[in-house]
């Protein structure tokens, strides 16, 4: 570095020389960090400029698990006591109201369209006739809550005693497209 006092002409006043020296020294000191700032300006960033956050920034507890909120997740059997009293109990109904009347009304208001024994679509051999109970659900079925859908299907399955006859499931089909939308088993309702 050069001596600051010898750089300025002698004609300048002492106060002015001091101010200019301070400015030159400050500029020299500012130049050094600017070089470092230029090198460090991309620290913690990707090539495209996105910020890279440390892993502990989004850390979750070790016991954390994601549980999907779909009807195929079956909490009914994990904590069965919480579902006590959720099903319809015909014994508590009015004496004029019966299970038969309830099922007739469910078919009249198009919650259920029709029921029949159907062959499986997956069996291609005509000698093997696989029969499955099929329930076509109507447009009102889609307006019900999941709990009322399950209640109405359980009422129908209990009344017809379909699971006591050796069948393991009731296939649920749409009334319009006749496509399978799910199934009802002794473990509950499973929609696709």
Quick one: DSSP state of residue 166? T
**Banded model confidence at residue 66, pLDDT cuts 50, 70, 90:** low
Token pair, residue 142, equals: 């889609």
Q: Give the HSE-up count for residue 70: Cα atoms under 13 Å, Cβ half-sphere.
A: 7
What is the average pLDDT across 38-56? 71
Of residues 124 and 86, the one with the higher pLDDT is 86
What is the average pLDDT across 125-134? 69
Q: Is the pTM value of this prediction over 0.95?
A: no
Q: Is 83 exposed, middle or buried (0-12, 13-18, 19+ CB in 10 A)?
A: middle
pLDDT digits (tens, 9 = 90+) for 109-120: 999 999 988 865
Of residues 23 and 12, the one with the higher pLDDT is 23
| Residue ranges of domains in the chain | 1-65, 80-191
Q: In angstroms, rounded to a whole number, what is the distance separating the alpha carbons of residues 52 and 161?
A: 60
Q: In angstroms, rounded to a whole number, what is the distance separating the alpha carbons of residues 100 and 106?
A: 10
Is residue 149 within a helix (H) or strand (E), and if so which, with residue range? helix 146-160
Strand partners, 170: 184
Token pair, residue 192, equals: 């696709």
Least confident range from 20-29, 44-53, 84-93, 158-167: namely 20-29
Of residues 72 and 152, the one with the higher pLDDT is 152
Q: In angstroms, rounded to a whole number, what is the distance separating the alpha carbons of residues 141 and 154?
A: 14
Of residues 59 and 100, the one with the higher pLDDT is 100
Q: In angstroms, rounded to a whole number, what is the distance separating the alpha carbons of residues 171 and 135?
A: 6
H, E, C per residue of 15-53: HHHHHHHHHHHHHHHHHHHHHHHHHHCCCCECCCCCECC
What is the average pLDDT across 39-57? 72
Is residue 190 within a helix (H) or strand (E), and if so which, with residue range? strand 188-191
Quick one: DSSP state of residue 66? -
Evaluate if residue 50 carries a pLDDT over 80. Answer: no
> What percentage of the chain reaches a pLDDT higher than 70?
57
């Amino acid at each position: 570095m050069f001596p600051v006092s010898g750089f300025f002409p002698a004609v300048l006043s002492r106060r002015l020389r001091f101010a200019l020296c301070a400015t030159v020294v400050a500029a020299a000191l500012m130049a050094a960090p600017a070089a470092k700032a230029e090198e460090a300006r991309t620290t913690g960033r990707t090539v495209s400029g996105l910020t890279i956050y440390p892993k502990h920034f989004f850390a979750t507890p070790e016991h954390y698990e994601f549980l999907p909120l779909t009807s195929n997740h079956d909490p009914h059997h994990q904590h069965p006591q919480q579902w006590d009293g959720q099903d319809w109990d015909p014994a508590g109904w009015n004496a004029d109201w019966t299970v038969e009347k309830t099922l007739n009304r469910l078919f009249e208001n198009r919650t259920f369209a029709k029921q029949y024994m159907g062959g499986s679509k997956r069996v291609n051999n005509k000698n093997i006739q696989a029969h499955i109970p099929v329930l076509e659900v109507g447009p009102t079925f889609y307006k019900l809550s999941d709990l009322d859908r399950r209640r109405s299907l359980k009422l129908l399955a209990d009344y017809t005693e379909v699971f006591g006859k050796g069948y393991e499931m009731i296939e649920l089909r749409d009334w319009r497209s006749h496509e399978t939308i799910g199934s009802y088993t002794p473990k509950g309702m499973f929609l696709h």
